[in-house]
Structure 1
Amino acid sequence: MALLRKALAWLSVLVICLFGLLICVARPFNPNNNRVLGRAIAVTGRWILGLQRPVTGLEYMPQDRPVVIIANHQHNDDLFLMGDLMPPRTVTVGKAILGWIPFFGQVFWLGGNVMLNRARSRKAVALMKATSHAITNENKSLWVFVEGTRSHGQGLGRFKKGAFHTAVAAQVPLVMICAESYRDDTEGRWGQRTPVRVRVLPAIETRGLTADDVPRLVADCHRQMAAAIEAMAAPQ
């Protein structure tokens, strides 16, 4: 039952993206395409999986100003877990290889998202810095899975610095989103998934900071997110 639910959830992504192409072609590179499709994919996927997602701290997510959002990344199912948490006019960062996925890759590109080749780290950081101009001049927000790879529920990994350079260059707040550690195959009755909690942490202002402050900013955010994930793992 669980495998069937999972297969149907990912099939729904392709179907939603197929119809989403109509939206994206009608208004190409509009960042709100991502919000519409993210919500449709997440809500549909959680319903198919029988996955509950209690979320706290939504009041810390600004809806009326650009931000850089950093989140931990455990499994591909994070798309269902957090895809509907994007504020307006948000673009995301993903690997360049995503562009080759049928339908999904096309809507990802037409959403104006940032596609990185992480093997070329210097160019990746330069591109992230350049993204700061879109944040300030086009009133966009940026979502980054800050570890740069999936942890498979094995704890918070090291952070890539690109998102922090972007936030500092644009002088916008950093918002941290933490999902508790989970297995993507954990199931309960009738194949329904065990609930996964998500917590949004208070924003960190970057106004007045420079590139020299990035290492400290990275360490502070890592410490806060690790503490939040550990706290969610404690018995309630």
Structure 2
Amino acid sequence: MLRTPLFFIVVFLATLVSAFSVMLIGLFRRHSDAAYRYVFRPWARSIAWAAGVKVEVSGQEHVEPNRAYVIISNHQSHMDVPVLGGYLPLKLTIIAKKELFRIPIFSHGMRAFGILEIDRSNRTRAIHTLEQAAMILREKNTSVLTFPEGTRSADGRLQPFKKGPFALASAHRFPILPVSVCGTFPILPKGKFWVKPGRVSLKIHPPLHPGEDGAGNREELIERVHQTIAAGLYEHENA
């Protein structure tokens, strides 16, 4: 019973302190190694801790630490961001839907961290966000985490993918890193406000390179990544 209030207290305090800390490091160095290592990752791990989440990561051998990726992940829960941000062995930022930037305090933390806001209802603004992401990947050597389902799954099942992240990767030949997030759905399901402790598995798959790896066009690339992530979820559910 005490887990849920503890969780939301930690989220509030950690976000407040972290946003202030990023400002001290320098508002114009949002994607610096220091901001990620000493602020964003501890913020993410503190939230996972408050939720009682135990994280297991597999496939780290597929990651080149000094390379930037377009990270493609399924989206089961609000816990996905703390788990991925806290435990993937990469410096990263996130593309998040505009609705999240309306949440008081949380929105300030997101902007301080340099998280990118995307408005999918406005094509011009969405393209601008993808251009910002390309700049961060190329010039900051920072990976960009995306959720191509567009929103959290209502039942934990993998939904169809939107094209945006794949357009980003294909246009600039950025490698795609597929990741299957398994186990976050029962911890904090969509539309629920209580937290249930649990175990989460992150399965990192081998990267795919647009135009190579047997994925000749964008539709084939989307299908291949979708199948890869789905296979990781299936393997976890039937382990």
Q: TM-score, normalised by structure 2?
A: 0.83
Which residue of 37, 41, 59 corresponds with 1:57? 59
Which residue of 9, 12, 36 corresponds with 2:10? 12
Q: Structure 1 pair 15/35, CA: closer, same or farther in 2 (3 Å)?
A: same
Q: Offset of 1:109 from its aligned partner?
A: 1.2
Please tell me the residue identity of whatever aligns with 2:200: V
Q: Offset of 1:59 from its aligned partner?
A: 2.1
Q: Which residue of 2 aligns with 1:203?
A: 207
Q: Structure 1 pair 150/36, CA: closer, same or farther in 2 (3 Å)?
A: farther
In structure 1, distance between residues paired with 2:204 and 2:62: 7
In structure 2, distance between residues paired with 1:130 and 1:49: 32
Q: Which residue of 2 aligns with 1:22?
A: 20
Q: Which residue of 2 aligns with 1:170?
A: 172
In structure 2, distance between residues paired with 1:109 and 1:46: 21
In structure 1, distance between residues paired with 2:104 and 2:97: 15
Q: Structure 1 pair 177/208, CA: closer, same or farther in 2 (3 Å)?
A: closer
Q: Which residue of 1 aligns with 2:107?
A: 105
Mapping of 1:19-98 within 5 angstroms? 19-26=17-24, 27-29=26-28, 30-32=30-32, 33-34=35-36, 36-98=38-100
Bigger Cα displacement from structure 2, 27-36 vs 88-97: 27-36
Please tell me the residue identity of whatever aligns with 2:27: P
Please tell me the residue identity of whatever aligns with 1:197: S
In structure 1, distance between residues paired with 2:136 and 2:52: 37
Bigger Cα displacement from structure 2, 157-166 vs 127-136: 127-136
1:76-134 Cα shifts (integer Å, max 9, x gaps): 12233322135554221011232232332112112222101122356424532453233
In structure 1, distance between residues paired with 2:89 and 2:179: 12
Q: TM-score, normalised by structure 1?
A: 0.84
Q: Which residue of 2 aligns with 1:232?
A: 236
Bigger Cα displacement from structure 2, 102-111 vs 117-126: 117-126
Bigger Cα displacement from structure 2, 132-141 vs 197-206: 132-141
Following TM superposition, the consecutive aligned residue runs of length 4 or more in structure 1 with deviations greater than 6 angstroms are none
In structure 2, distance between residues paired with 1:208 and 1:231: 26
Query: Contact (CA 8 Å) 1:53, 1:197: kept in 2 or not?
Result: yes
Please tell me the residue identity of whatever aligns with 1:17: T
In structure 1, distance between residues paired with 2:197 and 2:204: 22
Which residue of 207, 219, 226 corresponds with 1:222? 226
5+ unaligned residues in a row in structure 2: which ranges? Answer: 190-194
Mapping of 1:148-163 within 5 angstroms? 148-163=150-165
Q: Structure 1 pair 60/10, CA: closer, same or farther in 2 (3 Å)?
A: farther
SS at match of 1:52: strand
Q: Structure 1 pair 194/148, CA: closer, same or farther in 2 (3 Å)?
A: same
Count of aligned pairs between the two proteins = 228
Which residue of 161, 168, 183 corresponds with 2:186? 183
Please tell me the residue identity of whatever aligns with 2:23: V
Task: Please give the root-mean-square deviation of Cα atoms over the aligned residues, in Å.
Answer: 2.6
Query: Contact (CA 8 Å) 1:53, 1:196: kept in 2 or not?
Result: yes
Query: Contact (CA 8 Å) 1:46, 1:80: kept in 2 or not?
Result: yes
Q: Structure 1 pair 45/220, CA: closer, same or farther in 2 (3 Å)?
A: same
